[in-house]
A and B are shown apart, each in its own frame.
Chain A
Amino acid sequence: MVPSETSAGRRRFLKLLAASPLLAYPGLSPRWMEAIGRAQEDAVISSVREALDVFDFETVARKNLLPEHWAYLATGVDDDSTIRANREGFTRYQLRMRPLADFSKLDMSIQLFGTKWNTPIVLCPVASLKGFHTEGEKGVARAAKAKGVLQALSTMTSTPVEEVNKERGEPVWYQLYARDQWSETLKMVKRVEAAGCPALLWTVDLLGGSNRETFRRAQPREGVRAPLCKNCHEGLKKPMYAGLAEQAGGEGGGTTVFTWDDIKRLKDTTQMKLLVKGIQTREDAELAIAHGVDGIVVSNHGGRAGASGRATIESLPEIATGVGRRIPIILDSGIRRGTDIFKALALGATAVGIGRAYVFGLAAFGQEGVEAVLDILRRELQMVMRQTGATSVAKITRASLVDRFDAIPSPASSHSSGNR
C-alpha cells in the first residue's frame, strides 16, 4: 500500500511514525520512508487539539519565534549538557506500578503556606514573556487562573506586577533579582508587597554568572542594536525597574556579592514568605533553613545557570533528607512529563515548577497553549498516580520508585575480596 497524501488521518499517522522509534526499523520500504520524510517536515501541529504532549508545542514555538528569541528560550550554558542532564536524570528512577487501587477519587491538589492549588504544578518565573507571544505574562496569568495553578512572576517581566495580578485575579508570587544597591532592592520588594504578592523567590543561581553560548551564537553582531531588534529593545526599561537607579552592570545583572547574611536581612525586612530559588545541595538547603527561609526551589535554572552536569532530580534526595519536611520544596528544571512530576514528588518535592514547557505553549498558541500544556501535564500525572496506586499527592512516596543505581551491585558486594 502506498501512503496517500490525501487523507488527514494518514498524514497524522505518518507524523506519529516520523517521531517514533519505528523509523529505525530496517524493513520500511523507500516509499514509506519518503512519505515519512515529508510528514517530518510537516510535523507541526496547527491547533492545541492536535497536541499529544508538551513536545508538540516546542516544535510550533520554534517555528513561530524569531531565531534570536528561540535561542534565548532554548539556551543552556557551555555546551548545554546540564539541560540534557536534567532530562536524563529522570530516567534514573523507575516506577513501581500498583494499579489495583481505588482511584475513583483521585486528589491532585496541594497546599503551600495554607493555600490550596488544583495541581502540584507551578508556573516558574520566566523573563520577558512578551518576546514569545503578544499575550505575554497576561496570557499566562489568564491560563493560571483558568487552571487554578500558582504563577510566579519574574523580576524581568515585560508586564508590571500590578497588571499581572489583575489579570490573574489574585496576587502572584514574585521572583526577585536583587539590585546592586540594597535600598533599590528594598524599593522593589516594597512595591511587590504593596501589590499584595504573598511570597518572594530570591533567585541565587545566577550570582556566579552564566555562560550562555547557544544564546550568544544566535544573536546578531550588533546585539539588540541590530536594525530589527532595536525597534523593540532600544530604550526599553523593564517595568519592575521603573523608578529604580541604574545598575553598574546594566539591567542584565549586577556586580554585588550576596551571602546568606543578605538572605536573613531580606527575611527580616519583609512580611512575604521568602523562598530561595536555585538550591542544589543539602548544605545550602540546611543553611537556608538556618537563615529563616520559608521554602526552597531546587533548581539549576533549567540548565542555564552553571554547567554542573547534575540533574536537579538527582540533587533532590540529598536535599530532601537535609530539609526533612521542615519547609516546602519546589523542584524545577527539565519537567516535561507527568512521570517527571511524579518522580519529583516521590523524592520529596512538595510541588514542581515548569519553565520552558509552558513557554512552548505560550509561544505556540498564547493563553490557549499554556492551558493545553497544563492540561496535558495534569492528565499525565493523573494517569501515573492511578497506575502506581497513589490516590493523592501525599500518597506519592519513595516506595513507588526504584533507583537504577541501587539495583547495581556495589563493588564491595560483587567482589568480596575487594580492593580495586
Chain B
Amino acid sequence: MLARVGVMALLMAIFPARFSIQAQSARDPAPHFIISGTSTVRAWSCPAQGVTKVIAGKSSQPVPGFPHGVQTVEVRIPVKAIACEDAMMVEHLRDALNEKTYPEIVYQMTEYTLTGADTAQANGKLTITGVTKPIRLDVKLSPSSNGVRSVGETSIDLTQFSIVPPVIWQGLLKVGKDVRIRFDALLPPSERAGGFHE
C-alpha cells in the first residue's frame, strides 16, 4: 500500500503541478526545483517552478486516484520561471538557454517502476533548447502527517543539450558544464490526487 501511495507521491513530486504549488504555498514556500552548478569562482543555484499535466490510464501499475495507472506525465518549466537571485545570472542563463527560441524546458515521463518501499524510478525525456535526451530520475519518498515529502535529483551535462555554458568577463569566469536538478516537495495525502486528472 505504501508503494502505491509512493507512486502517487512520486508523480506529484517529479511533476509539481499547479495543484501542488497551491496546496503547498501556505505551509512550505520552498521552491520545487533547484538548479545548481559550479563556476570558476563559486558554486551557484537557482530555484524554479513548473507546471504539470498528467494523463491517466494504460499503465500496468495502478496508482491511487489512477486505477488504470498513468500513461504519461509532462512538466513544463518556463525558462522565465528560473529565478536566480542575481539579475546578471538570470540574464546569462536565459541567453545560454536561448530563451527567445526555446522558452520552455519540457520533461515527459514515459514509464515508472517502484524500486523499494519508499523509492521509485521514472524514465522519460528531457528537452532543452530543442534537444531531447532520455533521462532517469530516482525519487525518495518520506510520508509524514502533512503528506509525502518527495525528494530526488539528477545531473545533466549542458553540452549534451548543445548548450554552451556561460563564459563571462572576457573568459575570466566560466560556468561548469555539469548541472544538478533537484526537486523537493511536501505533498498532501493522495486523496487530493483527483486534481491531477486532465
Tell me if chain B binds chain A.
Answer: yes
A365 at the B interface (CB under 8 A): yes
A286 at the B interface (CB under 8 A): no
Chain A proximity of B174: nearest CB distance (Å): 11
Chain B proximity of A44: nearest CB distance (Å): 11
Chain B proximity of A64: nearest CB distance (Å): 5
B1 CB contacts on chain A under 8 angstroms:
none
Which chain A residue lies CB-closest to B88?
Answer: A231
A364 at the B interface (CB under 8 A): yes
A118 CB contacts on chain B under 8 angstroms:
none
Asked whether A134 lies within 8 Å of B153 as measured between CB atoms, the reply is no
B142 CB contacts on chain A under 8 angstroms:
none
A356 at the B interface (CB under 8 A): no
A177 at the B interface (CB under 8 A): no
Asked whether B38 lies within 8 Å of A134 as measured between CB atoms, the reply is no
Asked whether A133 lies within 8 Å of B42 as measured between CB atoms, the reply is yes
Asked whether A228 lies within 8 Å of B169 as measured between CB atoms, the reply is yes
B85 CB contacts on chain A under 8 angstroms:
134-135, 138
A366: contacting residue among B41, B43, B86, B169, CB under 8 A:
B43
Contact mask A316-340 → B, CB, 8 Å, 1/0?
Answer: 0000000000000000000000000
B155 CB contacts on chain A under 8 angstroms:
46
Asked whether A65 lies within 8 Å of B172 as measured between CB atoms, the reply is no
B36 at the A interface (CB under 8 A): yes
A139 CB contacts on chain B under 8 angstroms:
45
A47 CB contacts on chain B under 8 angstroms:
153, 180
Asked whether B169 lies within 8 Å of A363 as measured between CB atoms, the reply is no
Chain A proximity of B137: nearest CB distance (Å): 14
Asked whether B42 lies within 8 Å of A65 as measured between CB atoms, the reply is yes
Q: Which of A132, A134, A138, A139 has the most B CB atoms < 10 Å from its CB?
A: A134
B105 at the A interface (CB under 8 A): no
What is the predominant secondary structure among interface residues of chain A facing chain B?
Answer: helix
A418 at the B interface (CB under 8 A): no
Question: Is the interface on chain B under 10, 10 to 19, 20 to 34, or 35 or more residues?
Answer: 20 to 34
* CB within 8 Å of A: which B123-169 residues: 153, 155, 169
Which chain A residue lies CB-closest to B85?
Answer: A134
A64 CB contacts on chain B under 8 angstroms:
38, 42-43
Chain A interfacial residues counted at CB < 8 A: 24
B170 CB contacts on chain A under 8 angstroms:
227
- Please judge, given known A-B contacts A228-B169, A228-B173, A231-B169, whether A133 and B43 are in contact too, CB under 8 Å: yes
* CB within 8 Å of B: which A354-398 residues: 363-368
Asked whether A66 lies within 8 Å of B41 as measured between CB atoms, the reply is yes
Contact mask A217-232 → B, CB, 8 Å, 1/0?
Answer: 0000000000110011
Asked whether B172 lies within 8 Å of A227 as measured between CB atoms, the reply is yes
B36 CB contacts on chain A under 8 angstroms:
365-366
A69 at the B interface (CB under 8 A): yes
20 contacts between A and B (CB under 8 A): A65-B41, A65-B42, A66-B42, A131-B42, A133-B42, A134-B42, A134-B43, A134-B44, A134-B45, A134-B86, A134-B89, A135-B45, A231-B172, A231-B173, A363-B43, A364-B43, A366-B36, A366-B43, A367-B45, A368-B182
Which residues of B are in contact with A by a Cβ distance under 8 Å? 34, 36, 38, 40-46, 84-86, 89, 153, 155, 169-170, 172-173, 180, 182
4 closest A-B pairs by beta carbon, nearest first, are A228-B172, A134-B44, A64-B43, A66-B41
